[in-house]
Amino acid sequence: VSPEAIPPPFLTVIIPAYDESDRIRPTLEGYRSYISSSSSRWGGGGGGECPSEARCEIVVVDDGSTDGTADVVRDVASSASSPSAAAVAIRCVSLPRNA
**pLDDT, tens digit (0-9, with 9 covering 90-100), for 15-46:** 999 999 999 999 999 999 888 887 566 554 44
pTM: 0.74
Task: Report which of 81, 62, 82, 78 is spatially closest to residue 90, judged by C-alpha positions.
Answer: 78
Nearest-Å Rg of the Cα atoms of the chain is 15
Do the beta carbons of residue 60 and residue 13 sit within 8 Å?
no
State how many domains the chain has.
1
- Total Cβ atoms within 10 A of residue 73: 28
Task: Report which of 57, 80, 60 is spatially closest to residue 69, judged by C-alpha positions.
Answer: 60
pLDDT of residue 8: 62
Q: Give the domain range for residue 20.
A: 3-95
pLDDT tens-digit series, residues 47-99: 444 544 557 889 999 999 999 999 999 999 998 777 666 678 899 999 887 65
